[in-house]
Amino acid sequence: MNKYLPLGKLSFGLGDRFGQQGRAQLRACQLATELGAHFVPVWNKSNREHTFIGTEPASLRAEADAAVKALGWKQAYHVDADHIRLETVDRFIAPSDFFTIDVADSIGKPASAADVKSFVERHPELAGTVSIPHIEQPFAITRAEVERVANKFLLATQDAGKIYQHIVKAKGAANFITEVSMDETDSPQTPPELLIILAAIADQKIPIQTIAPKFTGRFNKGVDYVGDLKQFEKEFNDDLAVIAFAIKKYGLPPSLKLSVHSGSDKFSIYEPMRRALKKFDAGVHIKTAGTTWLEELIGLAEAGGDGLEIAKEIYAYAMDHVDEFCAPYASVIDIDKKQLPSAVVVNGWKSKQFTDALRHDQKNPAYNPSFRQLLHVSFKVAAKKGERYLNALKKHEAIVAKNVTENLFERHMKPLLLGK
Ligand SMILES: [Zn+2]
């Protein structure tokens, strides 16, 4: 296996659309460390996001370095080139040390027949009865099934290999962490599929440290998990068992772990995840992004005056463009339009009404998940406001930062670490 930059056991992906909250985010990691949970901060931003906001990947590195310096953070931290492909990776290579290779587009496209055949022949251990510690029912995988899975995923792993080698050439294998993501696809990967995928990734000599499968259930943007929690828990446990098995069987890095591309705020899966991680003594990477942008809006609304004003303007604009904004996110939002208050109504709101509707507190009867999801996908409105939005963030920095830190620490890190 190739060399690699090792990633710590618990890591937390932090997205920061406008690049202003690095310190407030890192503060949450400091608070978690004080409780004994060493979350390695990983700042992530996808190519798509850079394009929407008009930023360069180097800006994320600058933000991370500045936050680390300002807070005196002595431990590891990373900068993730999130969801990159061969055509988009180049501008990320110098500033990033974590690469999320997105091969979802290649899933379902068959590799060459000869490659599929040789994969199946090279891996007789995958066919038949495969007993994996901590999975009650051994996998019964026929040779035809191995072939089917190879036809679906082998090309994706070959693509991952090409992108990985491209980064190695430019950067040196020991200088980065590799994640492979398969979450942005139609159907979840089952644990037996995950095993076959990991065998194929090992064949590509990719020292993969995080893998992001698509899990069962809906991972809507910025709101809680929707799906069968029991099924999720079983799948998550079985995935952990498969990973532990594959590390030994295929010589993958011992630090290999699941990466949960959460779409932010999947609070109800944190408890089953915590139980499973404890059982397997496993690590995890949780990727979040938009949750911090929503905390910016909450902070601005809470500040009142011109802060509340700009939050209302963003909502009014979003309401005017609701179909246009929602269309690209159709598979990851569930907005009930009847629950969206009109811009006229919102314009009459006080700070507390706005923050109660937006803040992700499911115990608050005024919390409105449709309102929250619409604002989640409307960050381009703030981007269009440019300096005016950034100046509002600077002016109300203290109250915004408090919301950003509290959200990550109280609602994400503490439940994952302590179960509360
Ligand atoms: Zn993702």
Segment 166-203, tens digit of pLDDT: 999 999 999 999 999 999 888 999 999 999 999 999 99
SS3 content of the chain, % helix, strand, coil (to 5): 55, 15, 30
Please tell me what DSSP assigns to residue 342: P
Contact status, residue 338 vs residue 308, Cβ threshold 8 Å: no
Domain spans, the chain: 10-289, 291-409
The CATH number corresponding to 10-289 among 3.20.20, 3.30.1460, 3.40.50, 2.60.40 equals 3.20.20
Segment 60-108, tens digit of pLDDT: 999 999 999 999 999 999 999 999 999 999 999 999 999 999 999 999 9
Task: For residue 350, report the distance from its CA to the centre of ligand 1, in Å.
Answer: 35
Task: For residue 261, report the distance from its CA to the centre of ligand 1, in Å.
Answer: 5
Instruction: Please report, in tens digits, the pLDDT of each residue of the chain (420 residues total).
Output: 789 999 999 999 999 999 999 999 999 999 999 999 899 999 999 999 999 999 999 999 999 999 999 999 999 999 999 999 999 999 999 999 999 999 999 999 999 999 999 999 999 999 999 999 999 999 999 999 999 999 999 999 999 999 999 999 999 999 999 999 999 888 999 999 999 999 999 999 999 999 999 999 999 999 999 999 999 999 999 999 999 999 999 999 999 999 999 999 999 999 999 999 999 999 999 999 999 999 999 999 999 999 999 999 999 999 999 999 999 898 899 999 999 999 999 999 999 999 999 999 999 999 999 999 999 999 999 999 999 999 999 999 999 999 999 999 999 999 998 886
Task: For residue 255, report the distance from its CA to the centre of ligand 1, in Å.
Answer: 20
**19: alpha, beta or left? (left if phi > 0; alpha if psi -120 to 50):** left
Task: For residue 292, report the distance from its CA to the centre of ligand 1, in Å.
Answer: 16
Classify strands 10-15 and 39-46 as parallel, antiparallel or unpaired. parallel
| Alpha carbon distance 395, 318 (integer Å) | 24
Task: For residue 304, report the distance from its CA to the centre of ligand 1, in Å.
Answer: 34
Task: For residue 213, report the distance from its CA to the centre of ligand 1, in Å.
Answer: 9
pTM: 0.96
Task: For residue 289, report the distance from its CA to the centre of ligand 1, in Å.
Answer: 10
Instruction: Dump strand ranges (E) for 216-292.
Output: 257-261, 284-287
Structure tokens at 309: 């004003």
